[in-house]
Amino acid sequence: MNEMGSVATMMDELGRAARLAASQIAYAPSDAKRKALDVAADEIERQAPEILAANARDMEFGRDKGLSAAMLDRLMLDEKRISGIAAGLRAVAAQPDPVGQVMAEWDRPSGLHIRRVRTPIGVVGVIYESRPNVTADAGALCLKSGNAVILRGGSESFHSSRAIHACLQAGLAEAGLPETAIQLVPTRDRAAVEAMLRAVDHIDVIIPRGGKGLVGLVQREARVPVFAHLEGICHVYVDRDADPEKARRVVLNAKTRRPGICGAAECLLVHRDVAETLGQQIVDDLMAAGVEVRAQGLRGTRPAQPDDFGREFLDMIIAARVVDDVDDAIAHIRRYGSQHTESIVTENEATAERFFSRLDSAILMRNASTQFADGGEFGMGAEIGIATGKLHARGPVGAEQLTSFKYIVLGDGTIRP
């Protein structure tokens, strides 16, 4: 424990400092924010040896703790990943500043001119697990959007996150911005997470980044609003009118490119008219690529069990099922989906339209791999996470969706009759 006293007191002080910083950073000049991020990127490269040394300590701690190989891989930094972090900071720096952007403007018969302009949300809380790069990505996106941020990294990435955070602070100082705009919780104590979830006075929105355990905890316990997705149970529906080559290519990529990300396909649905031909071909492709196919109505590695549907495998496993038609596919997705990303493979315009209008996932695709569900691929430069809720932010969340808006109303001594 540190000298400030209890974790609750410390978090309260962090919260107050964030609220104060938010009121200043909200109208910080675009140039200053850009400079802070560019300087931070330079610092990341300059301090690469220190960051790698800090990461080595975390890796040792992680191995002692018995982290899985996948977890250790997320935690690990090397020269290439450090370059990637610096490049990410520069990419966010180069983006247009969303704050002050005019979203719409119009005149009224009363003589008033009304403008809706983007304004920061205030204070963002980010709670994440082992990936140290989230420190840089989340810090950069919050700064770009004029928000103060409180970062709470995983205990495994404690030293790496601190080293990266120091670079962000150097950037803020160099640009003359308050260093409290980007704060990192300086303790591994889990009480800090609980304090953040209840900090309705100090934090405006919380974004959890991590596994289902963390996200579920945050969604259940938070009194502060949350932008998140609990699971990415993504479906690919191969329609009767699918182009066979496109279907084979898309399904294979959607499952196997990186099976562990939230945009990976977890369930294949095939129209019964093409099940024995194209459907079986796709299943065979998947099996040939090393995927375990749990199939219903198709020949797979093993028969699907009821609980294989609606399941996020995050692995080289996929559930597969034959459906009667697009409506049956829609009904399946409504029942088992997680409102993240679904793709239809079809050449039929009307069928695609039906799929798009009757489903309401954050991302709906046609003839494209679900692996594209990503802020970078959407052109947002970076993402702080992907949201499946319907209020405020949805899909990949970039700097723009970290803003709110206000109305500027211009009159000339105008009064209301």
Per CB under 8 A, contacts with a copy of itself among 92-111 are 100, 106, 108, 110
State which of residues 213, 290, 306, 379 lies at the interface with a copy of itself (CB under 8 A): 379
Per CB under 8 A, contacts with a copy of itself among 11-30 are 23, 26-27
Place of tokens 């039929």: 348
SS3 150: strand
- Structure tokens given for 124: 């963002």
CB of 409 to a copy of itself, least distance (A): 4
* Site size with a copy of itself, rule: CB under 8 A: 62
Total residues belonging to the chain? 417
Q: With respect to a copy of itself, which residue has the nearer C-beta, 299 or 392?
A: 392
Closest among 218, 296, 213, 283 to 255, alpha carbons compared: 283
CB of 116 to a copy of itself, least distance (A): 8
Cβ-based neighbours of 275, under 8 Å, separated by 6 or more: 297, 298, 322
CB of 245 to a copy of itself, least distance (A): 7
Q: With respect to a copy of itself, which residue has the nearer C-beta, 198 or 299?
A: 198
CB of 388 to a copy of itself, least distance (A): 10
Q: With respect to a copy of itself, which residue has the nearer C-beta, 114 or 287?
A: 114
- Structure tokens given for 230: 């609990």
Q: Phi-psi region for residue 105, left (φ > 0), alpha (ψ -120 to 50) or beta?
A: beta
Closest among 173, 80, 182, 174 to 124, alpha carbons compared: 182
Only segment of 32-40, 128-136, 169-177, 408-416 that touches a copy of itself (CB under 8 A): 408-416
CB of 109 to a copy of itself, least distance (A): 9
Task: Let me know: does 412 contact 158? Beta carbons within 8 Å.
Answer: no
Angle value at C-alpha 127, between 13 and 254, nearest 5 degrees: 165
Q: Does 391 bind a copy of itself (CB under 8 A)?
A: yes
Q: With respect to a copy of itself, which residue has the nearer C-beta, 42 or 325?
A: 325
CB of 227 to a copy of itself, least distance (A): 9
Only segment of 59-67, 81-89, 310-318, 386-394 that touches a copy of itself (CB under 8 A): 386-394
Q: With respect to a copy of itself, which residue has the nearer C-beta, 122 or 154?
A: 122
CB of 58 to a copy of itself, least distance (A): 30
Residue 262 CA: distances (Å) to CA of 49, 66, 265, 368, 386: 32, 24, 8, 16, 9
Q: With respect to a copy of itself, which residue has the nearer C-beta, 9 or 414?
A: 414
- R_g (Cα) of the chain, nearest Å: 24
Instruction: Give me the amino acid identity at 159.
Output: H
Closest among 359, 368, 366, 367 to 388, alpha carbons compared: 359
Task: Let me know: does 22 contact 147? Beta carbons within 8 Å.
Answer: yes
Per CB under 8 A, contacts with a copy of itself among 195-224 are 204-205
Only segment of 69-77, 159-167, 185-193, 389-397 that touches a copy of itself (CB under 8 A): 389-397
CB of 363 to a copy of itself, least distance (A): 5
Cβ-based neighbours of 169, under 8 Å, separated by 6 or more: 179, 182
Per CB under 8 A, contacts with a copy of itself among 236-275 are 243, 245-247, 249-250, 252-254, 257
Q: With respect to a copy of itself, which residue has the nearer C-beta, 69 or 391?
A: 391
DSSP state at residue 402? G
CB of 264 to a copy of itself, least distance (A): 11
Tell me how far apart the alpha carbons of residues 378 and 150 are, in angstroms, rounded to a whole number. Answer: 26
Per CB under 8 A, contacts with a copy of itself among 137-176 are none
Per CB under 8 A, contacts with a copy of itself among 316-375 are 334, 356-358, 360-369, 371-372
Tell me how far apart the alpha carbons of residues 321 and 166 are, in angstroms, rounded to a whole number. Answer: 50
Tell me how far apart the alpha carbons of residues 186 and 162 are, in angstroms, rounded to a whole number. Answer: 8
Where would I find the H helices in 66-132?
Answer: 69-75, 79-94
Q: Does 407 bind a copy of itself (CB under 8 A)?
A: yes
- Structure tokens given for 323: 């459906």
For binding to a copy of itself (CB under 8 A), which residues are involved? 23, 26-27, 100, 106, 108, 110, 112, 114, 119, 121-122, 204-205, 225, 243, 245-247, 249-250, 252-254, 257, 334, 356-358, 360-369, 371-372, 377-379, 390-392, 394-395, 404-416
